[in-house]
């Protein structure tokens, strides 16, 4: 059905369907990890910005944590470097980290801030350095071939603490935080690249968010036959890890979802960012566009 064939009665019905959800989630915090096609296709960028502004206007508190893998890859190629990944994590030497910080904390973040502002919102960009938001340390990856010698993948960090004071101050002033997944270690004077899904999950946990939404380029969590699994419990996910159904880049996403669900976030959603207005569909309608994970 095209937009031009939607009658006023159907539009009214859609709006009425959203009312219970607006009442239920008014004043609640939702953390959105923004990435994938939704970051690179213009129509999906506009759809995302519209959704975030509308959620703010109807009384929710959206917080955006963004990725930027394709943009980082493009910048690295211009410098003659190729991205390397181990277990879904980017190997990050000093030169790569400099590019990552410039791309995420500069180009990508400011593009998102401007996009939300153009849609009628008031967005402010942050990195983990701002207000001591994200403290981090070096992340060592497990080595399957030699468990006693974990893999050093460079300036890739794991979160040691989150101080949400700066986020709370921004929300109270009715602004929308846009956060780049860059952490800082004061003792080492080092900057670390952190997986955006993990940052989004930890921020949702610390703020006791109502929802965590992780945008991706697939319909949601799929079984081995490619069928969408619409609702999962944490115990079911353990089995999907064990039998190899969940692999690669989906691993940190699901790990973040699991931890958030275990630590107080009411529901976590893996949503298809290729669907226009996927955030509104997932939060404000009976029919979602992804997989919901609950504890």
Residues annotated in a binding site for substrate:
68-69, 90, 193
Annotated binding site: 68-69, 90, 193
The phi, psi pair for 137, rounded to 5°, reads -140, 165
Distance of CA 196 to the CA centre of its chain: 6
Distance, CA of 294 to CA of 140 (rounded, Å):
29
* Direct distance between the N- and C-terminal alpha carbons of the chain, in angstroms, rounded to an integer: 36
User: What is the rounded distance in angstroms from the CA atom of residue 237 to the CA atom of residue 215?
Assistant: 18
- What are 81's two structure tokens? 């470097």
> Going along 48-188, which residue ranges are E strands?
61-66, 85-86, 89-90, 123-126, 134-141, 151-162, 176-179, 182-185
Which residue is listed with tokens 């949702």?
204
Give 123's DSSP letter.
E
Closest CA to 291 of 223, 198, 202: 223
- Cβ count within 10 A of residue 10: 11
Which residues have a Cβ under 8 Å from the Cβ of 74 and sit 6 or more positions away?
none
Residue 160 — φ and ψ, nearest 5°? Answer: -100, -30
């Amino acid at each position: 059905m095209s937009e031009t064939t939607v009658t006023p009665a159907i539009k009214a019905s859609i709006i009425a369907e959203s009312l219970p959800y607006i009442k239920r989630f008014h004043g609640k915090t939702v953390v959105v990890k923004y990435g994938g096609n939704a970051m690179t296709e213009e129509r999906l960028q506009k759809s995302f910005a519209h959704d975030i502004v509308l959620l703010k206007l109807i009384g929710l508190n959206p917080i955006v944590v963004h990725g930027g893998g394709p943009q980082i890859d493009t910048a690295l190629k211009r410098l003659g470097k190729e991205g390397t990944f181990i277990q879904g994590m980017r190997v990050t030497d000093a030169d790569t980290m400099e590019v990552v910080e410039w791309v995420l904390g500069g180009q990508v973040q400011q593009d998102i801030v401007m996009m939300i502002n153009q849609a009628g919102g008031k967005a402010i960009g942050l990195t983990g350095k701002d207000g001591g938001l994200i403290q981090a340390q070096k992340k060592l990856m497990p080595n399957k071939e030699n468990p006693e010698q974990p893999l050093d993948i460079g300036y890739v960090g794991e979160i040691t603490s989150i101080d949400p004071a700066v986020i709370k101050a921004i929300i109270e002033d009715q602004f929308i935080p846009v956060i780049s997944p860059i952490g800082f270690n004061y003792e080492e004077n080092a900057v670390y690249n952190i997986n955006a899904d993990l940052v989004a999950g930890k921020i949702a946990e610390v703020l006791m968010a109502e929802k965590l939404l992780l945008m991706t380029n697939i319909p949601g969590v799929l079984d081995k036959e490619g069928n969408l699994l619409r609702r999962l419990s944490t115990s079911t996910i353990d089995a999907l890890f064990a039998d190899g159904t969940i692999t690669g880049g989906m691993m940190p996403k699901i790990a973040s979802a699991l931890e958030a669900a275990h630590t107080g976030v009411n529901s976590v959603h893996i949503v298809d960012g290729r669907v226009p207005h996927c955030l509104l569909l997932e939060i404000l309608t009976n029919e979602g566009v992804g997989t919901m994970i609950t504890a």
